[in-house]
Structure 1
């Protein structure tokens, strides 16, 4: 049993074991060329990143180090487990590509890092499994007692125990199970250190390895191992990229399985009540879920909740108290005359940071981008901030209320704070000679926590009950908006950005224009959805 067998769809493992995957007649999902290229691109970039990290591992002791780094790279194959054990028995300090097995469990990790301070085959040998992650691996702990990380620079791996830092680890499900299983196997072998580790991104920090206690991971592993093996498919997030997608979906549609609307763990409570299909759920007719089951079968994206539950939310009306209009009139027309609505959307690259902040004021789109080869260290963010503050000052001068609208603001909040923490107070001279200033974190916090910074997604969730996603791409068409850039999403935007800073001049320009149109669409779509909500979200059925 491997860690991936415990994460996501358990039925996939059953199907893989049930058929010969080498058969030319095996079931396949109909991947299109774009999906295939995206998957290959992700694998290539992930492999390149791992090679970059492995090249940064210590080759010699640093000044003051008493330990000497030694390294063994394990080759895949029938002898990988035996080779790993031999490297550990020899006291190797860094074991790359280690393969571990014990009983029914097997796991491969990017690194085994020796954590004890012994030399050679010391009786106190202790190894920590480490993964190289493409995700954020730690964040600032909200409370000191919640911090659990020891940070070690890559140049000091296996040479230093690390220093305690005020961060708490973050591991996605697959990484957590992989580290848990490797930690348990090492315990069974008698070589386990108390910690496990992740190498990845942390805001405002150079890349390091973050070690944290391995024992708490056992709970999730034991829970996953206790789950019964499924005998039928159930929809989960991974379905879209699974080789059995078409095979399983045909079964789910035939039975109208409840997971079509409630994927993953969202259907657990329903199934525990003995309800496994959407018709059974719709037949209850006494809950929001039952109404949504009926809506799903009718092909509806969402239904409107009762107006009294959301239409009076003052944020929707620029801070004004809501009152009902006369029959046949639009609501709050006079009150909204003193409200200045701006719509903002941001695009970011996971390693580079933001590369485009777009704004829409009801009539025109303005973008602030960084498409330079090596990055402008936040100049585009400072320019966006200066533009925003000028609009705020203008609204104040005319006695009007500025409201800046973002759809699901977590990303924008994170990156504004990140740039403020890194470059707060820094001056930038733009190409036109203007000087702009990066805000400090307290200035950014003041905006985000003020009435002027509005998250439209919060209001959408309050107003609508969805049969699936309530993301902007799903909701905006209900408001009558049509996106101009078909097939472009967050992942595609990252790929387009890499083209926009690439070597092909024609490709650069085309990619940049596509990104700007995509970003403009999201800004204008946010404006449409807000206006639609203010009109009472017409055109869809109520619950």
Structure 2
């Protein structure tokens, strides 16, 4: 086995990224992290500092030595201080670093180690939500989730929450449990171990059973260490992780050069094609015969063939039907929400079009808070947005007119519509969860993203930034995008010590306005005549008959 030493980050995600990260440095040019990756790292660090300060404050009355914060500058000193604190029997060890296990190839740190019996259990802090609210707990049913308050380890069944498990969190805790076990410091046998998980809300410690994950962790660790040691060969493939990977420019060039099929077909479907001997986009575009027997997934096989043909011929979209269609109404409101990571939604942008009155101006209206998230002022701006939207809807109904509100990919908007109702339900004007759910499920809430998928085969993705330019819309800011807007927002409000630059607020408002205008242009184009210039997917498929 090679000498590679793996941390928690190396246990999940793209295997080829792992191989590149551990490649000899004279063979590989190290690429910097993307701005998005750096933003996430900085946000996570800020959240961890906040939570650790909270825990330290809750333990402020404990005797000297009960709570130890490890603040040494380098890893070796931090590990020594952590071991010394364990030897002394400290109850809480904050910012703990375990000694690097060179022989087994493991390194790890925990935001906290909590003493239980003769050993310790690991607790980690993450910058995403780890539970969801259970609206109506079932009477008489014992909850499967255990949670503990932040001030100590007192696990109890929790009927108010459901666990949002993420594999990377479980793998990190499993690695820490394995390292503590090797040190003889785990509080229980490894197959009975648990860990603690504190999420973005930082309102409890979620108890994560680790015994059942031990076998998965061991197998994963063995394979990952073999990859890092150069014993298992990997190759690039396009996956969702590529969007934020610092190696993507290198991998994209290699994939494009060999016209790799993963550029148009990803995931398990791409593997099915490779198993069938279809390795390039050109081979897929020329495919004849029945689809592979083991084809599974949401994307029909015929769509992948059409996508490959479009990619080869530089066709942006192909029509599924002769006349594309999208729901239209007398009064139309385009909506776009802006959020920052898991912290909340700071802006709801709207654009109203009255198709019954040409003299009524099409006006962009944003509902926004510039208080750094998370903030109660988020609830105020959401209440104002909801009141305006319902007023326009009710006015249309009263006038005997049809009404529809449009978004692009309702998953994000729906999440924050529901989340805002749940979190700010005690504030004036905030709707109930039932009211939000009723609106979301009605015909008056239209997802243009779904309309695009229903009407077109999209060889290069269905994101608004890719599709709207086909309809003739372009953003005023060349840097406009989700990643850039995160940086703009952090500067606009001076988030987490960032130097405040209020000029970025105007930039965010312009970006949001362009998003809602792009949605309007796109849905009007779908129901117009210019769209008929695109080829029909059936005609492209007929070429292979």
TM superposition score normalised by structure 2:
0.78
Tell me, in whole angstroms, the C-alpha distance in 1 between the residues paired with 2:317 and 2:143: 40
Contact 2:96 2:110 in 1 (8 A): yes
Question: Is it true that 1:236 corresponds to 2:239 in the alignment?
Answer: yes
* CA distance 1:53–1:340, change in 2 (3 Å): same
**Per-residue displacement from partner, 1:280-318 (whole Å, max 9, x unpaired)?**
22221453212212222333343222348x74xxxx335
The residue that corresponds to 1:321 in the other structure is none
The residue that corresponds to 2:508 in the other structure is 515
The residue that corresponds to 1:267 in the other structure is 270
Partner of residue 343 from structure 1, selected from 334, 347, 358: 334
State the number of aligned residues. Answer: 489
Tell me, in whole angstroms, the C-alpha distance in 2 between the residues paired with 1:248 and 1:138: 35
* CA distance 1:81–1:355, change in 2 (3 Å): closer
Tell me, in whole angstroms, the C-alpha distance in 2 between the residues paired with 1:410 and 1:244: 29
The residue that corresponds to 2:423 in the other structure is 422
Tell me, in whole angstroms, the C-alpha distance in 2 between the residues paired with 1:8 and 1:69: 38
What is the aligned-residue RMSD (CA, Å)? 3.5
**Per-residue displacement from partner, 1:470-489 (whole Å, max 9, x unpaired)?**
11111111222112222222
**Per-residue displacement from partner, 1:142-185 (whole Å, max 9, x unpaired)?**
8867954333333x14x433553432333444333222322344
Q: Which deviates the most, 516-525 or 492-501?
A: 492-501
The residue that corresponds to 1:135 in the other structure is 128
Contact 1:98 1:112 in 2 (8 A): no
Tell me, in whole angstroms, the C-alpha distance in 2 between the residues paired with 1:83 and 1:212: 26
The residue that corresponds to 1:50 in the other structure is 48
Tell me, in whole angstroms, the C-alpha distance in 1 between the residues paired with 2:143 and 2:450: 30
Question: Is it true that 1:177 corresponds to 2:171 in the alignment?
Answer: yes
Contact 1:8 1:237 in 2 (8 A): no
The residue that corresponds to 1:249 in the other structure is 252
Q: How does 1:378-389 map to 2 (within 5 A)?
A: 378-389=379-390
**Secondary structure in structure 2 of the residue aligned to 1:511:** helix
Shift of residue 219, structure 1, vs aligned partner: 6.0
**Secondary structure in structure 1 of the residue aligned to 2:350:** strand
* CA distance 1:385–1:74, change in 2 (3 Å): closer
The residue that corresponds to 2:532 in the other structure is 538
* CA distance 1:231–1:419, change in 2 (3 Å): closer
The residue that corresponds to 1:500 in the other structure is 492
**Per-residue displacement from partner, 1:177-231 (whole Å, max 9, x unpaired)?**
22232234444555155322222224xxx53322221234346535645587334
Tell me, in whole angstroms, the C-alpha distance in 2 between the residues paired with 1:531 and 1:230: 49
Tell me, in whole angstroms, the C-alpha distance in 2 between the residues paired with 1:67 and 1:16: 43
TM superposition score normalised by structure 1:
0.79
Shift of residue 57, structure 1, vs aligned partner: 1.9
Contact 1:295 1:303 in 2 (8 A): yes
Partner of residue 350 from structure 2, selected from 359, 364, 367: 359
Tell me, in whole angstroms, the C-alpha distance in 2 between the residues paired with 1:481 and 1:389: 28
Tell me, in whole angstroms, the C-alpha distance in 2 between the residues paired with 1:407 and 1:219: 41
The residue that corresponds to 2:358 in the other structure is none
Tell me, in whole angstroms, the C-alpha distance in 1 between the residues paired with 2:527 and 2:200: 40
**Secondary structure in structure 1 of the residue aligned to 2:277:** coil
Question: Is it true that 1:281 corresponds to 2:280 in the alignment?
Answer: no
* CA distance 1:60–1:383, change in 2 (3 Å): closer
Tell me, in whole angstroms, the C-alpha distance in 2 between the residues paired with 1:305 and 1:132: 46
Tell me, in whole angstroms, the C-alpha distance in 1 between the residues paired with 2:431 and 2:533: 42
Contact 2:317 2:457 in 1 (8 A): yes
**Secondary structure in structure 2 of the residue aligned to 1:381:** helix
The residue that corresponds to 1:300 in the other structure is 315
Q: Which deviates the most, 521-530 or 486-495?
A: 486-495
Tell me, in whole angstroms, the C-alpha distance in 1 between the residues paired with 2:253 and 2:105: 33
**Secondary structure in structure 2 of the residue aligned to 1:168:** strand
* CA distance 1:148–1:111, change in 2 (3 Å): farther
* CA distance 1:375–1:59, change in 2 (3 Å): closer
Contact 1:28 1:245 in 2 (8 A): no
The residue that corresponds to 1:109 in the other structure is 109
The residue that corresponds to 2:147 in the other structure is 151
* CA distance 1:239–1:355, change in 2 (3 Å): closer
* CA distance 1:302–1:187, change in 2 (3 Å): farther
The residue that corresponds to 1:70 in the other structure is 67
Q: How does 1:4-83 map to 2 (within 5 A)?
A: 4-20=9-25, 26-29=28-31, 35-36=34-35, 39-58=37-56, 69-71=66-68, 73=70, 75=72, 76-78=74-76
* CA distance 1:71–1:359, change in 2 (3 Å): same
The residue that corresponds to 2:452 in the other structure is 460
* CA distance 1:105–1:138, change in 2 (3 Å): farther
The residue that corresponds to 2:359 in the other structure is none
Contact 2:127 2:342 in 1 (8 A): no
Tell me, in whole angstroms, the C-alpha distance in 2 between the residues paired with 1:302 and 1:449: 29
Tell me, in whole angstroms, the C-alpha distance in 2 between the residues paired with 1:458 and 1:352: 26
Tell me, in whole angstroms, the C-alpha distance in 1 between the residues paired with 2:58 and 2:419: 34
Unaligned runs of 5+ in 1: 319-335, 428-436
